[in-house]
Each structure stands twice: as C-alpha cells, then as structure tokens.
Amino acid sequence: MKAARIALVAALLCGGAALYAKPAPRPSAPSPQELVTTRQAGMDMAAATLTLLKNASNNGAPLKSLAFPASGLAKFAGVMPALFADNTKGLPSRSRPSVWTDRAGFQAKAGEFAAATKALAAAAAAEDKAAFDTALASVGASCKGCHETYQVPPPAAKPG
C-alpha cells in the first residue's frame, strides 16, 4: 500500500517534470526523411491535382475556377528540385540515383514541368481553353518525361 503510494507520488512528480521540461529545440532545417516524405506527398498531390484539372476542364468548368489548383501546382513545380537535396540521396525512396549523378538532366526535366505548369496557371487565369488544354498535355508529358529516367517505376500502375 505504502509502496503503491510512493509509486504514485513518483509518477506524479515525473509527469510534472515532463510537463515543465523544455521542448527539444526545433531543428532549423527539415530532416532528410522529412524532405523525402514532403516530395512524395507533393507528387501525390500533383497527381490528384492533375486529375482534378483534367476532369473539371472536360466537364466545362470555368477555367478561372481552376486557377487556384493550377497555380498551386506551378508553385510546387518551381521548388520541387530542392526536395531532392543531397542529404536525401541514400534514403529508401523511388528516386533513381541518376537524380543526383545527372543533376543537370534532372533540373532540365524539372524546368519543363515548371514552364508547363506556369503556362497552365496563366491559361486558367486568362480563361483561354485552347492554351489550357495544350498546357495540360505538356504538364502530363513533363511528368512522364521525368519519371521515365529518374523514377523507379511503381509496382502497380499509378497515375503519372
């Protein structure tokens, strides 16, 4: 009984100490694993956005209403290469080593993606259907163009 009471007091004290303990300082940069997860999440959301844009355009949605997702995709395309930082090289992922051994080629493919998504966002804002459809096809081609060389193919068929 007494032992139980001591244990309870000890537990409360420890809990209290944990409550007042200083939180571990937040690292000033994302960890390599966080970068890998962030780029994979961005890719997943890029695939979902592309599907949304295709469907909405096919269903005759006003293009201005698609400017928000299209410009979000363009923002991602603009910074995406930074998520393939050198310190993520050896981590498990579906990136081929060529992302880092042929950085110039990878950057060129990323540049095509950035240009196509920028054109897409501009076409949506301008309500220009012909330009939007052309840009949509270029975006899809830029995903495939990069994956062919720099991505380990998915085990089962996936969009992109």
Among 70, 110, 121, 124, binds ligand HEC (CB under 6 A): 110
Of the candidates 144, 17, 123, the residue with the CA atom closest to the CA atom of residue 70:
123
Contact between 99 and ligand HEC by CB under 6 A: the answer reads: yes
Rounded-to-integer distance, Cα 82 and Cα 88, Å: 11
Nearest-approach distance from CB 157 to ligand HEC, in angstroms: 11
Rounded-to-integer distance, Cα 86 and Cα 100, Å: 7
Contact between 94 and ligand HEC by CB under 6 A: the answer reads: yes
Q: How many residues in the shown chain lie near ligand HEC by CB under 6 A? A: 25
Q: CB within 8 A of 85, min separation 6: which ones?
A: 32, 35
By CB under 6 A, name the binding residues for ligand HEC: 36, 39-40, 43-44, 46-47, 50, 93-95, 99, 106, 109-110, 113, 139, 142-143, 146-147, 150-151, 158, 160
